[in-house]
Amino acid sequence: MLILTTQDIHLEQKATDKSSAIAAIAADLTHSGFVEDKYVQGMLEREAQASTFLGNGIAIPHGTPGTRQYVKKTAVCVHHFPQGVDWGNGNTVYVAIGIAAQSDEHLEILKQLTHALSNDDVEQQIKSVTQAQDLVDILSGKNIPKDLIFDEKSFLLDFPATDLTQLLAVAAGMLKNRQIAQGEFVAEIINQPPRYLGSGVWLAVSNKALTQSGISIVRAKDKGMYQDNPVKLVIVIAAFDRTYWNVIDGLTVLIYQKNLPKLINANAMQMITLLTKEEKTGEKAIFTITNAHGLHARPGATLVSVVKKFSADIWVSNLEGTGQYVKAKSLMKVIGLGVKKGNRLCFLAKGKDAKEALEAIGQAIADRLGE
């Protein structure tokens, strides 16, 4: 796994323009033995094809597919420009992350940057940073609130037990096993009275000994009883921050609409949709990515540029990932899907030109997104 370290950081750099900035980064990559001299030409050619500016003062210059042969070892080199560098089109770069990748190892770096770029304050933070470790923390998203842990691994359906305490213990243990909760959390979930929501659904929440918010759901194979109420489904919430609030909102809606039985009978992904209110509607199409290195910056940018030509609302999910939909017009969100060769992308489009959009997206993917 490729992870940013302080050894990759070069603070207090200066450059008159982006070409000289890229040349300096390539020189450091060459000096460190990561690339051959010719790799710099690939980085400059790539920049001429399309800007590597990502937003919030960050760019990711890298070579073309044709110059991967000059990469000796996958690596990154980060140059920090406190005075900024004009990257064209009115964009100023304060941090340029030079990437030399032999295959798709750099996708992990792009996923880390996705978290960092979700922070509206990141540009100001990187401008004023003075310590290498601080820059690593910012770029790695260490100080960004972590996402809610609620995915296909959050469920244990048709568990062969009917005792409420046992079901709660199992659900709490699932969160502990995912290393977002400790024993004190499990003990409180077991010992505190759970809340009965109706229709056999029980809820337990604790904020003890957590590192992140998360949710686990256990459904009993057979119905049990507790205090004269049926036991069929338990929901346990690790309440570290506010990221779980939308799930509480989803539960409230289901209770108000008397739709808890629908939740009980759903599969894992349907439960996520019901509780997070992320159900999407519209025209649907699934395409397989055949690019050798998946959706890294260049093909990702090409895909987003195609999507932006249409007025329709368009979402995309990686069916080999979490299955969650993100806005297809956001490069950061698309890169954050971590799409590799062979992954299937499901697009949903809603609007007057939805069908045309999906056709164009399908054609662009068939054409390997410009590669």
User: Quick check: is 80 catalytic?
Assistant: no
State yes or no: is 31 an active-site residue.
no
Q: State the helix-helix crossing angle for 164-177 and 183-191, rounded to 10 degrees.
A: 160
- 106, 115, 293, 296: which one is catalytic? 296
Contacts of 264 (CB under 8 A, 6+ apart): 199, 200, 201, 219, 232, 233
User: Which of 62, 79, 80, 106 does the annotation list as catalytic?
Assistant: 62
Three-state secondary structure call for residue 93: strand
Neighbouring C-beta atoms of residue 90, cutoff 10 Å: 7
Q: Would you call 81 helix, strand, or coil by DSSP? A: strand
Q: Which residue has the tokens 């210059």?
A: 61
Cα–Cα distance list, 266 to 213, 284, 312 (Å): 23, 21, 30
The burial class, CB within 10 Å (0-12 / 13-18 / 19+), for 350 is middle
**Distance in angstroms (rounded) separating the CA atoms of residues 352 and 108:** 36
**Active centre residues (catalytic):** 62, 296
